[in-house]
Amino acid sequence: MTQNPEQNPAPVPSPLVRAVRTYLDHLGVERGLAANTLSSYRRDLRRYLGFLDGVGITELDAITEQTVLDFLTALREGDSEHVALSATSAGRTVVAVRGFHKFAVKDGLARLDPSVGVRPPSPAKRLPKALALGDVEAILEAAGAAGTILSMRDRALLELLYGTGARISEAVGLDVDDLDLTHGTVLLRGKGSKERIVPVGRFAREAVEAYLTRARPDLASTGKGTPAMFLNARGGRLSRQSAWTVIVKSAERAGVKAEVSPHTMRHSFATHLLEGGADVRVVQELLGHASVTTTQVYTLVTVDSLREVYAAAHPRALA
């Protein structure tokens, strides 16, 4: 016997499901989101609906801030049907949920937005990537085209960056008078115009002295008498972008495969100091960090290095 469809009508979607469908229609039609983006929103909100159904919530106004926070926790912890999400992926899902609730209030579907106080989780802080000492030395040796005036400038720049941990903006902002080669110090002007005096090691001093006596006078003769320490081929102050190029080109000539930037030299300076036994607060002062918390990220790098050495050397490390 054929059943009459009217005897088994399709289940009526809950107000929550209807609200989500309305929001997705809004994103697709009025906002014109790309198909892939819309698919991501649909997937994220489907998971949200599944969570709400699991805790017995079917009405928008029954959702509280704690509900949204519990959902965020569930995203990060995972369950038998879902893998735990990274902070980035969970954050993307929370953004979709916040967008939905904001729309629901604006469209008159809900009285309050329970997600307004919920912030996406912060992504895990990326550890700075330091170069091996051998790679740093290879880059220093490859500075500039051999035997040219610019090679002496480039070597002095790279030695100073690695030898002092200076930011690239601090290095190109140096004037000749900021260096005291007699006492082996340099005056660096950091963020917020904060000044600090940093020691300059022997290798950096020798490279700077060679540049000042044998190269800078020739470069300065084509310019207008700038006090800048590092000059370009026209006698003007070397730009940040040009200094960046010096580092990248030197790394290429050295055959270093790792991604290298001005900050890589700064990271390497800090990491190598800590691996050599320097106190983190001393490194903080040298880097010009306002808080030691900023510097402590480098201690995580050195702990990883210690862990690798331990795992390779201790007879029962892998037991």
Question: Considering 69, 88, 106, which residue would you say is the last residue of a domain?
Answer: 106
Which pLDDT value is given to residue 6?
Answer: 54
Please state the domain count of the chain: 2
Instruction: State yes or no: is 167 an active-site residue.
Output: yes
Q: What is the C-alpha to C-alpha distance for residues 13 and 21, in angstroms, rounded to an integer?
A: 10
Q: Which residues pair with 195 in a beta bridge?
A: 189
Q: What is the C-alpha to C-alpha distance for residues 94 and 121, in angstroms, rounded to an integer?
A: 9
Instruction: State yes or no: is 183 an active-site residue.
Output: no
Which pLDDT value is given to residue 319?
Answer: 43
Is 142 contained in some domain? Answer: yes
Residues 93, 144, single domain; the answer is no
> Which string of DSSP letters, residue by residue, matches 193-248?
G-EEEEE--HHHHHHHHHHHHHTHHHHHTTTT---BSSB-TTSSBPPHHHHHHHHH
| Residue from 92, 129, 249, 263 carrying the catalytic annotation | 263
In this structure, which long-range contacts are made by residues 174-180, counting pairs with CB atoms below 8 Å and at least 24 apart in sequence? 174/228, 174/229, 174/230, 175/227, 175/228, 175/229, 176/212, 176/216, 176/227, 176/228, 176/229, 177/227, 178/229, 179/208, 179/229
Which pLDDT value is given to residue 244?
Answer: 92
Which pLDDT value is given to residue 173?
Answer: 95
Question: Considering 90, 106, 122, which residue would you say is the last residue of a domain?
Answer: 106
* Tokens found for residue 176: 């000749």
**Of 1-5, 19-23, 259-263, which range is least confident?**
1-5
Q: What are phi and psi of 195, to 5 degrees?
A: -100, 150
Contact 51, 44 (CB under 8 A): no
Residues 177, 213, single domain; the answer is yes
Q: Which residue has the higher pLDDT, 135 or 8?
A: 135
Residues 144, 89, single domain; the answer is no
Q: Which residue type is seen at 45?
A: L
Q: What percent of the chain has pLDDT over 90?
A: 50
Residues 138, 100, single domain; the answer is no
Number of H helices, E strands in the chain: 14, 3
Whether the per-residue pLDDT at 314 is higher than 60: the answer is no
**Of 125-134, 235-244, 246-255, 305-314, which range is least confident?**
305-314
| Residue from 191, 194, 202, 314 carrying the catalytic annotation | 191
Which pLDDT value is given to residue 276?
Answer: 84
| Residue from 47, 205, 237, 266 carrying the catalytic annotation | 266
Q: Classify 179 as helix, strand or coil.
A: strand
Is 279 contained in some domain? Answer: yes
Confidence label for 69 from pLDDT (cuts 50, 70 and 90) = very high
Residues 217, 305, single domain; the answer is yes
Instruction: State yes or no: is 266 an active-site residue.
Output: yes
Is 128 contained in some domain? Answer: no
Instruction: State yes or no: is 48 an active-site residue.
Output: no
Which pLDDT value is given to residue 9?
Answer: 55
pLDDT per position as a tens digit, 256-269: 988 888 788 988 99
Which pLDDT value is given to residue 76?
Answer: 86
Is 1 contained in some domain? Answer: no
CATH, residue 228: 1.10.443.10
Whether the per-residue pLDDT at 94 is higher than 60: the answer is yes
- In this structure, how many other beta carbons lie within 10 angstroms of the beta carbon of residue 313? 8
Q: What is the C-alpha to C-alpha distance for residues 223 and 242, in angstroms, rounded to an integer?
A: 17
**Of 94-98, 200-204, 238-242, 290-294, which range is least confident?**
290-294
The residue range of the domain holding 42 is 11-106
Residues 250, 164, single domain; the answer is yes
pLDDT per position as a tens digit, 149-179: 999 999 999 999 999 999 999 999 999 999 9
pLDDT per position as a tens digit, 201-256: 999 999 999 999 999 999 999 888 899 999 999 999 999 999 999 999 999 999 99
* Contacts of 33 by beta carbon, 8 Å cutoff, 6+ apart: 27, 41
Residues 64, 145, single domain; the answer is no
Residues 222, 182, single domain; the answer is yes
Is 116 contained in some domain? Answer: no
Residues 95, 142, single domain; the answer is no
Is 265 contained in some domain? Answer: yes
Q: What is the C-alpha to C-alpha distance for residues 289 and 190, in angstroms, rounded to an integer?
A: 9
Compute the chain's Rg from CA coordinates: 29
Residues 140, 95, single domain; the answer is no
Residues 176, 280, single domain; the answer is yes
| Residue from 98, 153, 167, 272 carrying the catalytic annotation | 167
Whether the per-residue pLDDT at 127 is higher than 60: the answer is no
Which pLDDT value is given to residue 259?
Answer: 85
Instruction: State yes or no: is 126 an active-site residue.
Output: no
Q: Classify 14 as helix, strand or coil.
A: coil
CATH, residue 34: 1.10.150
Q: Which residue has the higher pLDDT, 135 or 298?
A: 135
Q: Which residue has the higher pLDDT, 302 or 83?
A: 83
Which pLDDT value is given to residue 180?
Answer: 93
Residues 63, 187, single domain; the answer is no
Average pLDDT, the chain: 85
Is 283 contained in some domain? Answer: yes
* Contacts of 136 by beta carbon, 8 Å cutoff, 6+ apart: 162, 265, 268, 272
Is 165 contained in some domain? Answer: yes
Please state the three-class secondary structure of 36-103 as a single string. Answer: HHHHHHHHHHHHHHHHHHHCCCCCHHHCCHHHHHHHHHHHHHCCCCCCCCCHHHHHHHHHHHHHHHHH
| Residue from 41, 162, 211, 298 carrying the catalytic annotation | 298
Q: What percent of the chain has pLDDT over 70?
A: 84
pLDDT per position as a tens digit, 24-58: 999 988 888 888 889 999 999 999 999 999 999 98
